Amino acid sequence: MTRYLKTILRTVRIMSIAELKTFTYSYIRYAFKMKGGYYVSRTAVMNDRKLITIKRRAEILDYVIIRPSGSPVHIGEYTQINPFTVIYGGSGVFIGNNVMIAPHCMIASGNHDYRQLEIPMRHADNTTDGPITIEDGVWIGANSTITDGVTIGHDAVVGANSVVTKDVAPFYIVGGVPARVIANRRGLPEKYDTCSRQS
């Protein structure tokens, strides 16, 4: 708390009273929100809590659902999982540090055995290609789906409304259904715009 007060005192000279009130309120709210080391919204649903690891300063926002289904779900430091995202543990989900997951995403580790025809898929065994791994610094856009066994390399970007069915290399930007490579972040000009990109 002392650190927050020092920051407030340093900025007093450059703010109006209204700005100072807003600034102070946001810092106090943030400090209170993180009092347990991380934040989980009251509306978030987390089944089998002992299988879920949440590291410091991570945020799990409104109406997020996490169902480990007997396997570990790990959420790294400073990672933010935005509203209405659903995570099914299946064979495990490992999310690194500083990851941004936008609203309405689906991360589903595991699959239904649709190849067999003897019994309804609803009652068939589950199959898996392994855990889902989302490495440090990844940004997943809104309404995206990450499927079983996928690894998304560090600092990669998944465009909104994408379905990721294959591994994504570090620093790559992917998008679409199924997701395909759009660009590599390391080779982008400073003012790159994916909307004006020539196909």
Q: How many residues does the chain have?
A: 199
Query: Which residues lie below 8 Å from residue 96, measured CB to CB, with a gap of 6+?
Result: 76, 79, 133, 134, 135, 136, 137, 138, 154
Q: Is 112 a catalytic residue?
A: yes
Contact 57, 38 (CB under 8 A): yes
Q: Are 52 and 68 spatial neighbours (Cβ–Cβ below 8 Å)?
A: yes
Candidates 74, 104, 112, 123; catalytic one: 112
Residue 89 falls in which region: left (phi positive, over 0), alpha (psi -120 to 50) or beta: alpha
CB 80, CB 64: distance < 8 Å: no
- Phi, psi (degrees; rounded to nearest 5) at 51: -90, 0
Is residue 180 within 8 A of residue 196, CB to CB? The reply is: no
As a whole number of angstroms, the distance between CA 52 and CA 40 comes to 12
The dihedral formed by the CA atoms of 12, 15, 16 and 20, expressed in degrees to the nearest 10: -60
Beta bridge partners, 15, equal: none
Residue numbers annotated as active site: 112
